[in-house]
Chain A
Amino acid sequence: MIRYILRRLVLMIPVALLVTVGVFILVRLSPGDPALVFAGEERDPNALAAIREQMGLDQPIPVQYVVWLGHLAQGDLGRSFQTHQRVLEAVTERLPATLELGLAALLFSTSVALIVGILSAVKRNSIVDLLSTSITLAGVSFPSFFLGIVLILLFAYIIPGRIFPPGGYVPLTQDAGDNLRRLVLPAVTLATASLAVNLRQVRSSLLDVFGHDYMRTARAKGLRERTVIARHALKNALIPVVTLIGIQIGAIIEGAFITEQIFFWPGIGRLAVQAIPSSDYPVVQGVVLISAFSYMFSTLIVDIVYAWLDPRISYEAATA
């Protein structure tokens, strides 16, 4: 197992380096001179040359990359062109909001997917099953930003009493009740796409498991149906679901880009989206890198957990 983990880590190194090269090249592709953006109103050629030298822009591109990578290795993602704040600091400030939203969405999508998925697999072709397949079908095609808007319209404006506010964020430490009230709509919005995928997976892997001999054996032993499902079916059926959830944890920042924008949620996604029009490349670059690394890391963890949960998976085959 340790050899497998080490091998996976070693294999990750070239991919991670390629990711950094990709992100670096993307920023260099961007139209416009970073020095001009950084300088703001300053147009004096001497001052601009000084800024270029200070930012290392007068060096050849490969040298710039190595210097940038060196800074990156020390956790230095540069400074925002606009606010001149350190990017890592800006990201860390907004991380709790994004994590709170992401984890709430994950909790919602996983618990609903498990409950509805199990019911729909056990009572196939029932109303619950019909509901579950409809959610699955619609959920993957429904754009999250449109769902967010429909929810805002309904719960903040149309239904009297303003059940949930249309947006904004209050830190959990400041007012827990208000924080939770403001969390509901964005969390449901963010959860819908993953809910559809998880629900489909729970249902189809349970149905897969139901056909196996050990299920018949368990029933033939005289076990109660509840025990058969909880002990024998779920344990095996949930392995692919665990994989999905792991990958969704890694993709929290991806979902945050859109949802945070709709609900004025001050997280990492909104930070990046607001940096785009002002060409604040270090911020965009930093958020993209962090989201890629967290995605890669969660995929690695998922592979390890998967191999651990299902001993039939050969480590050798998995690495091939």
Chain B
Amino acid sequence: MSEAALPVVLRVPQADRASTIRYFARRNPRMILGGALVLTWLALAVFAPFIAPYDPIKVNPTDALLPPSAGHLLGTDDLGRDMLSRILWGSRISLSVGLISVGIGFFVGVTLGLAAGYLGGTFDLVVMRGIDALLAFPALVLAIAITSALGPQIQNAMIAIGIVAIPAYARLTRGQVLAVRSREFIVAARTIGATPLRVVMRHIFPNVTNALIVQATLSTAFAILAEAALSFLGLGPQPPLPSWGQDINYSIRYLPNLKWWMSVGPGLAIFSAVFAFNFLGDALRDALDPRLRRSG
């Protein structure tokens, strides 16, 4: 009697990334909170033209240096400009510099890391020495040096912060490529004739995405802080454009007169935006990348 071959279907539960995130979100309220804070800031930036009660640039001498009141919730500056409106409009600059510079660092860093890790040899050696040279500078000093050389403009601040962000992505990606390069599934892909580009994009890159998402969130926090520091030093957007760092620098001259609202509004804006991305990044790290999880 011949045994009928029973069709055995083993259903291996496939945990895709979306469901992993949902699973952890239930157990990780910090991620929900961080995400909500980030989304709030993004929404404020996108809708600033509709929410902001006043023109952020128009000078209005009759309203100069008013303390917070119902008419001006966060007060006005010495030119009578509404601080709340300047903060809301300023968020567009801060967040766009943050996101675009992280985009630059991400794109260049990941490409270099993938290429260096996969190709190896002289290319790897040259690229990694270049990355070492970038890491030899303290991050903020490098950003200041690049922006002061290129000229104080928003675009140049984005480029400078983007360049500063490159090493982290390049090293992270290269390390991951080296870890999986000789694994069976890569060898198998090569054996069946996959092109190097396909091997890198389809088989290697997915292994590093989780760590990259975490890195991107945390480096957005750094980028917003760095943009604020550059603007504080006069290397970001130029007056009369509303910018958090620059507004804080401008407010220093009014400290002896106790016009505290000129500093406190923009300061809390920077803090809460940076905190939102740091908080979300930490929560995502715990959820997506257990190897990087901190103890305690």
Contacts and interface: CB of A to CB of B under 8 A. Distances in A.
A30 B147 CA distance: 9
B258 interface: yes
B232 to A, nearest CB: 5
B267 A251 contact: no
B234 A276 contact: yes
Interface of A is mostly: helix
A10 B152 CA distance: 37
B174 to A, nearest CB: 14
Given A29-B149, A143-B267, A207-B295, A291 B137 contact: yes
Contact of B139 (A27, A149, A153, A254): A254
A140 interface: yes
Contacts of B248: 143, 145-146, 149
Contacts of A18: 129-130, 132-133
A29 B296 CA distance: 47
B233 A19 contact: no
Q: How large is the interface on B (under 10, 10 to 19, 20 to 34, 35 or more residues)?
A: 35 or more
Nearest to A26: B149
Given A143-B267, A149-B252, A204-B294, A157 B258 contact: yes
Nearest to A299: B136
Contacts of B245: 143, 145
A113 interface: no
A141 B274 CA distance: 5
Interface in B224-259: 225, 228-229, 232-235, 245, 248-249, 251-252, 255-256, 258
Contacts of A251: 138
Contact of B138 (A30, A277, A295): A295
Contacts of A152: 255
Most buried by B among A23, A137, A208, A276: A276
A258 B149 CA distance: 18
Contact of A22 (B133, B225, B258, B278): B133
Contacts of A30: 148-151
B263 interface: yes
Interface in B122-152: 129-130, 132-134, 136-142, 144-146, 148-151
B221 interface: yes
Given A26-B145, A26-B149, A145-B245, A253 B271 contact: no
B107 interface: no
Contact of B136 (A26, A121, A142, A292): A292
Contact of A258 (B229, B252, B279, B294): B229
Contacts, number: 142
B53 to A, nearest CB: 24
A146 B132 contact: no
Contacts of B205: none
Contact of B271 (A15, A146, A292): A146
A141 B278 contact: yes
Nearest to B267: A146
Given A27-B149, A146-B270, A288-B145, A257 B252 contact: no
Most buried by A among B149, B151, B279: B149
A45 interface: no
Interface of A: 14-16, 18-19, 22-23, 26-27, 29-31, 121, 137-138, 140-143, 145-146, 149-150, 152-153, 156-158, 166, 200, 203-204, 207-208, 250-251, 253-254, 257-258, 261-262, 272-273, 276-277, 284, 288, 291-292, 295-296, 299
Given A19-B133, A149-B251, A150-B263, 20 more contacts: A22-B133, A26-B146, A29-B149, A29-B150, A30-B149, A141-B225, A141-B275, A143-B271, A146-B270, A149-B255, A150-B267, A153-B258, A153-B260, A166-B256, A207-B296, A250-B138, A254-B140, A276-B235, A284-B145, A295-B137
17 contacts: A15-B136, A29-B150, A31-B150, A141-B275, A143-B225, A143-B248, A146-B267, A149-B251, A150-B267, A253-B138, A257-B141, A257-B229, A258-B229, A277-B234, A292-B137, A292-B138, A299-B136
